[in-house]
Amino acid sequence: NGNRVLKVTASTGLLSILAGSGGYGYSGDGGQAVNAEFENVGGLAVDSTGNLYITDEGNCAIRKVTSSTGIITSLVGTVSPSGNYGVCNYGSNPGDGGPASAASVLYPQGIAVDGSGNIFVADEGNVSIRVIAASNGNIYTTAGSYYTYTYNGATYTYGESGYSGDGGPATAAELAGPGGIALDSSGNLYIADEYNSVIREVNGAAVLPTETPVITPPSGAIGSATAVTIT
């Protein structure tokens, strides 16, 4: 409503502003959420401790309002050099396997949080479902696939739009315009695959990828007893 998030208190029925000044832009991180600006609020979700998660669609950002302080931060999102809006780079590397703060999403829509605090987002522009792991803050793709394209020495990454993959791994499937999402108590994920006019289900979506171990020193011939660290 007016680029704001409104709250109705159940015990009183009173309406209040929870986030958003009403202005359009990308501002407010580190301060009170009521003073922040958005560029088209999309989906909303609340975790078990009352923290609010917002897909800031036009800014290509995922914002969080901490319930205990009312302060807003960006879990994903980059402010433009002008400071007026978020950076939305079509074809940019989505950043899977790394920190969410260094990743990118493209026009995010629905959002949901499971009982463990994992945050699922419908990344519509990348035609995928992304998850920010509660355990390490890294971001992964839980449904949808990508292809890369090289032009003039630069590599671009795009989501594969289509309708395929039923019965196989969700990360090998193709979606088309994923919008709303929801989770059940068993951790199964449901996706409104808008442009395919279907509802898709991912069984056990909360089972996150296993990180590749880092071995130090790296594999190779060693002439004497050596301590090896596996992280």
Q: What is the largest CA-CA distance in the chain?
A: 74
Residue entry with tokens 């400071």: 83
Whether the CB-CB separation of 182 and 166 falls below 8 Å is answered with no
Whether the CB-CB separation of 131 and 118 falls below 8 Å is answered with yes
Number of Cβ within 10 Å of residue 7's Cβ equals 12
Half-sphere exposure of 224 (CA within 13 A, CB side): 0
Residue by residue, pLDDT tens for the chain (231 residues) are 668 999 999 999 999 999 999 999 999 999 999 999 999 998 999 999 999 999 999 999 999 999 999 999 999 999 999 888 999 989 898 999 999 999 999 999 999 999 999 999 999 999 999 999 999 999 999 999 999 999 999 999 999 999 999 999 999 999 999 999 999 998 899 999 999 999 999 998 766 666 667 788 887 788 888 888 887
Whether the CB-CB separation of 39 and 86 falls below 8 Å is answered with yes
